[in-house]
Amino acid sequence: MADPVSLLETISVPTMHISMRSDRIIQIVPENGVQITMDNVKLQIAAIGSLGKGKRYPVLVYGGVDTRLDSEVMNYVASEKSNPFALAEAYLITNVTHKLLAGFYLKINKPARPTRVFTKEKEALAWLYSFLP
């Protein structure tokens, strides 16, 4: 049986919590009912860089309940310059609205790094593990 995954360190910024997991995955958990802004995203990226000590890691992003972001944020997050610390990004979604937005994001914004959307955490993690050395 595999060892349980633990959170080694967490940095909280307005609207979200970013953690380094013991399996070398960075996870992002947004607070429920918040609007994600450019300022929030920039703080998030700085936290990922700090947790990973400037190295690149796979990133698992949980979809928050009633979490919102606008097209400016989606365009920025998809760009190559937005997160130099992400090897790949998996978005774990649980509702139809997020599923529609995720499909739109992948088709229109065309993320610069490998990005996939999942409804099952186990599948998201299996995909992210394939990016670990």
The pLDDT tens digits for 23-57 are: 999 999 999 989 999 999 999 999 999 999 999 99
Q: Give the domains, in start order, of the chain with CATH numbers.
A: 7-129 (3.30.750.24)
What pLDDT is attached to residue 44? 95
Complete DSSP assignment for 46-77: HHHHHHTTT--EEEEEEPPTT-EE-HHHHHHH
Q: Please give the average per-residue pLDDT across 95-116, as a whole number.
A: 75
Beta carbons of 82 and 41 less than 8 angstroms apart = yes
The sign of the CA dihedral 120, 6, 20, 53 is negative
Q: How many CB atoms lie within 10 A of CB 92?
A: 20
